[in-house]
């Protein structure tokens, strides 16, 4: 290998090492925020779990026809350290949700130097919109999906039937936590669909007319996704499918609104 080739290899290594050092620094920063968020959430983990139980309590009050104050409900765990591990999981999930904007910003800051000025301007609004949509997905689960799922589940109870046998829901802390985590994650990610569709429109890959003409295929795809992504109960599947369908058509409207501006930008760039 000649000296010139060796110099070229060394020059290519230098930027790579700089990127790796920067990546390491940003990962350490995210981990530091995650640890702080985890400690803060763990300090209030029992209170947070009680807050997550509110939809179950309200659903039980409606189903059993008893005021919430008069309900005698118990959340159970069947292993010595089960609830402790539930608190750990809840603290980790809570910390990730709290620092999600920081994670998104660090990703943007890492890739921003490789973007053109117009590309940075295109990504910036979505950087703000992404955490908001994720939060809306989580709120949709807490205030709408979870109460309906709990009412459906509690509706299967049979207290004092003809045979005298009672069938009641025995709530397990781990199962309830897994259900909430799954639903919030699925809905939070699914609510990012408008961002994906608008980015595709900005890139010129799809147009609103194409998406509108293919709405039948979208309905089938959304139905299949909802069936596989959610727990096997009809309530969460129907609600996820309905929410995604509404977001799909709202995204088409946003794309239609964006397209004239994108066409003007293309004409300006072609003239210059």
Per-residue pLDDT tens for 6-34? 544 444 455 778 888 888 999 999 999 99
Q: Which domain holds residue 220?
A: 192-272
Whether 49 and 138 share a structural domain = yes
For residues 123 and 22, membership in a common domain is answered with yes
Q: Same domain for 234 and 119?
A: no
Token pair, residue 154, equals 């509690």
Q: Which residues, 6+ apart, have CB-to-CB distance to 211 below 8 Å?
A: 197, 218, 248, 251, 252, 255
pLDDT digits (tens, 9 = 90+) for 247-267: 999 999 988 888 777 666 666
Residue-level pLDDT at 226: 92
Region 119-126: mean pLDDT is 73
Per residue in 226-244, pLDDT (tens digit) is: 999 888 888 999 999 999 9
pTM of this structure: 0.84
- Confidence category of residue 224, pLDDT binned at 50, 70, 90: very high
Same domain, 39 and 153: yes
- 210 and 165 share a domain? no
Supply the DSSP string of 217-266, one letter for each residue. Answer: HHHHHHHHHHHHHS-S-HHHHHHHHHHHHHHHHHHHHHHHHHHHHHHHHH
pLDDT at 183: 93
Residue 62 covered by a domain: yes
Is residue 158 in some structural domain?
Answer: yes
141, 171, 201 — which closes off a domain? 171
In a domain, 187, yes or no: no
Domain match, 214 and 163 both: no
Same domain flag for 163 and 196? no
**Are 167 and 254 found together in one domain?**
no
Same domain, 153 and 253: no
Q: What is the pLDDT of residue 246?
A: 95
Assigned domain for 178 exists: no
| Whether residue 198 is found in the same domain as residue 163 | no
The DSSP code for 125 is H
Q: Are residues 219 and 268 in the same domain?
A: yes
Instruction: Compute the radius of gyration of the chain from its Cα atoms.
Output: 25
Q: What percent of the chain has pLDDT over 70?
A: 88
Domain boundary among 140, 171, 202: 171
139 pLDDT above the threshold of 90: yes
Please state, in angstroms and as integers, the Cα–Cα distance from residue 239 to each residue in 12, 56, 194, 205, following that order: 51, 18, 17, 29
Q: In terms of domains, do 138 and 15 share one?
A: yes
149-161 per-position pLDDT tens digit: 999 999 888 876 6
Q: How confident is the model at residue 176 (pLDDT cuts 50, 70, 90)?
A: very high
Q: What's the domain count of the chain? A: 2
Q: Which residue has the tokens 């990012």?
A: 192
Query: Nearest CA to 105 among 177, 176, 155, 30?
Result: 30
Which pLDDT value is given to residue 12?
47
């Amino acid at each position: 290998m000649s000296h010139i080739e060796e110099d070229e290899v060394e020059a290519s290594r230098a930027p790579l090492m700089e990127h790796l050092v920067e990546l390491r620094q940003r990962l350490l920063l995210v981990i530091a925020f995650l640890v702080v968020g985890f400690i803060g959430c763990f300090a209030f983990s029992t209170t947070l779990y009680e807050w997550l139980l509110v939809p179950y309590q309200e659903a039980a009050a409606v189903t059993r026809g008893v005021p919430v104050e008069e309900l005698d409900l118990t959340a159970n765990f069947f292993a010595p350290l089960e609830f402790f591990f539930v608190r750990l999981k809840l603290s980790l999930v809570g910390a990730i949700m709290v620092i999600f904007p920081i994670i998104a910003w660090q990703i943007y800051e890492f890739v921003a130097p490789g973007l053109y000025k117009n590309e940075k301007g295109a990504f910036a609004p979505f950087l703000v919109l992404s955490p908001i949509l994720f939060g809306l997905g989580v709120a949709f689960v807490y205030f709408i999906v979870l109460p309906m799922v709990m009412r459906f589940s509690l509706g299967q109870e049979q207290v004092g039937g003809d045979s005298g046998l009672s069938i009641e829901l025995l709530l397990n802390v781990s199962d309830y936590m897994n259900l909430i985590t799954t639903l919030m994650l699925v809905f939070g990610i699914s609510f990012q669909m408008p961002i994906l569709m608008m980015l595709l429109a900005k890139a010129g890959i799809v147009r609103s007319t194409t998406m509108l003409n293919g709405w039948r295929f979208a309905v089938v795809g959304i139905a299949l996704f909802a069936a596989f992504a959610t727990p096997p109960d009809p309530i969460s599947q129907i609600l996820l499918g309905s929410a995604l369908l509404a977001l799909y058509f709202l995204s088409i409207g946003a794309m239609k609104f964006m397209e004239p501006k994108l066409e003007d930008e293309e004409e300006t760039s072609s003239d210059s």
